[in-house]
Structures are given as structure tokens and as C-alpha cells.
């Protein structure tokens, strides 16, 4: 028997498949709910299904899907570990941009997916999903669309979620020069699936429990992108470092006892 949460998730998926709330229902073949691990720590949010996905009713099986699979393989992440969904659940005719009313209507489904899956990390793929998640969690928007690229690969903290904007895998279909950057950024997905192995004995844990440092240090480093933590790398190399060194390498003398 399905649990209450799983029943709600299955009901949501069926509502998505049957949705007729906007004009896209007239041109689609299949409306696609998300797929993957319903207990995932990481949720990927892309823009919309493509032609192959619309025809077969499955997520990321076209050219972009092959690129995604390659990036996940490089990151040592399987699709079974994560949950993958779209901002827009129906194919956009001729791959046009989504209209604002379509986003507002379809985002109700995405919001419910986020609530039911309850991921620790939302990785947004591309401009439209990133913009929507920024607005949802009240993250200040960049001044222009090109400036969104400055956030790709940068872990952000909003409410109780970590947000990781990434380039959409389709970018590799048009510009091979971004492969190295994208491979590096997608590898962070694996890092974000587990806490730092040193966390249980790290002074940061003690300082946070004592209320002496902000939560952001724990969420963005110890339980986030710990491979970017200066303390982690010094610990790995056996290099001495003071307890009052913060994860970014700066020293907080107020922690010096």
C-alpha cells in the first residue's frame, strides 16, 4: 500500500498527465510529470519536454537527454538517485519560449512536486527554471538574462533549500567550449548528496550548535559544497589550521578561545 505522501505524488502525476489548464494541451501529445527517486536529496528542474519526450512520455530521452546522461555519468550520479522534472510540463510548439501565463499555470504543479519530494537541493537547468526558482525563493534576479550565467555552479541558500543553478545540457549541443565548466559544475551534484565526512568532528558544528556562527556556513559548506571548503582540503592534506578558521579560509577571532 502506498504511503500518504506517495499517494499524493501519484495523484499529482495523474493530474499533470490529464491537465488542460492552458493552450499547450492543444498541441502536446504527452504532459510529463517528474521522474526518479521520490526521496531524492537533489531535484533537477529543466524547462520543458522536447519532441522525443512529448512523443514517448518520458523525461530527457532526446539529444539533451544524452548530454544530461553524459554529465551525470561524469559526476558519478545515476538518475535513480535524483528526481528530474520540468517547469513546463508540455512541449512548447516549435521550441518557442514559454509565455508568462503558461509558467504561472504550470508552476503550480512544480510547486506541489517540490513540496512532496522536499529536496534539500534544487538544481535549476537553464534560464527559465532558474528565473522561476529565484523568484519563488526571493533570490535577487540578475540585471539581465546574460548575467544569469554568473550564477551557474554557485550554491545559494534560500529558506531551507539550497539552490544550484546549472547550464541546461542542451548548451553542449551548440557550444562545446562550455563542456569543462559544465562538467565541473555538474560534479557538485554528487558532493551535495552527502555531508562532509569531517562534519561530525568539525569545530564548525560545535560553534553552530552553540549559536556562535550563522547557519549558512553549515548549509553551504558542511552540508553543501564541502569540496570548496578550505578547512576540508587542509584536513585532507593533514595541514594544521586553527579552529576559528571559517570554511572560506577567513579567520573569525571571536571564535578564538
Q: Quick: pLDDT tens for 163-191.
A: 999 999 999 999 999 999 999 999 999 99
* Spans of all domains in the chain: 4-191, 199-255
Q: What is the pTM of this model?
A: 0.94
Q: Quick: pLDDT tens for 80-103.
A: 999 999 999 999 999 999 999 999
The single residue listed with the C-alpha cell 499524493 is: 8
Q: Please, what CATH class does the domain formed by 4-191 belong to?
A: alpha beta
Distance between CA atoms of residues 155 and 211, nearest Å: 23
Residue among 162, 163, 154, 178 nearest 71 (CA): 178
Amino acid at each position: 500500500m502506498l504511503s500518504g505522501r506517495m499517494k499524493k505524488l501519484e495523484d499529482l502525476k495523474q493530474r499533470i498527465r490529464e491537465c488542460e489548464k492552458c493552450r499547450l494541451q492543444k498541441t502536446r501529445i504527452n504532459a510529463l510529470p517528474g521522474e526518479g527517486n521520490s526521496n531524492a536529496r537533489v531535484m533537477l528542474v529543466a524547462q520543458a519536454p522536447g519532441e522525443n519526450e512529448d512523443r514517448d512520455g518520458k523525461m530527457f530521452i532526446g539529444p539533451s537527454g544524452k548530454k544530461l546522461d553524459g554529465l551525470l555519468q561524469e559526476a558519478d550520479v545515476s538518475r535513480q538517485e535524483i528526481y528530474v522534472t520540468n517547469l513546463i510540463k508540455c512541449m512548447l510548439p516549435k521550441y518557442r519560449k514559454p509565455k508568462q501565463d503558461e509558467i504561472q499555470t504550470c508552476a503550480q504543479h512544480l510547486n506541489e512536486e517540490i513540496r512532496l519530494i522536499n529536496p534539500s537541493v534544487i538544481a535549476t537547468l537553464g534560464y527559465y527554471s532558474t528565473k522561476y526558482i529565484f523568484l519563488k525563493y526571493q533570490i535577487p534576479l540578475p540585471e539581465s538574462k546574460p548575467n544569469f550565467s554568473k550564477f551557474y555552479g554557485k550554491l545559494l541558500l534560500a529558506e531551507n533549500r539550497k539552490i544550484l543553478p546549472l547550464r541546461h545540457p542542451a548548451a553542449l549541443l551548440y557550444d562545446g567550449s562550455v563542456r569543462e565548466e559544465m562538467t565541473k559544475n555538474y560534479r557538485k551534484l554528487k558532493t551535495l548528496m552527502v555531508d562532509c565526512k569531517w562534519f561530525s568532528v568539525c569545530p564548525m558544528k560545535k560553534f553552530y550548535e552553540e549559536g556562535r556562527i550563522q547557519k549558512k556556513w553549515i548549509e553551504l559548506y558542511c552540508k553543501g559544497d564541502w569540496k570548496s571548503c578550505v578547512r576540508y582540503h587542509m584536513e585532507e592534506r593533514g595541514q594544521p589550521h586553527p579552529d576559528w578558521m571559517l570554511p572560506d579560509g577567513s579567520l573569525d577571532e571571536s571564535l578564538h578561545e
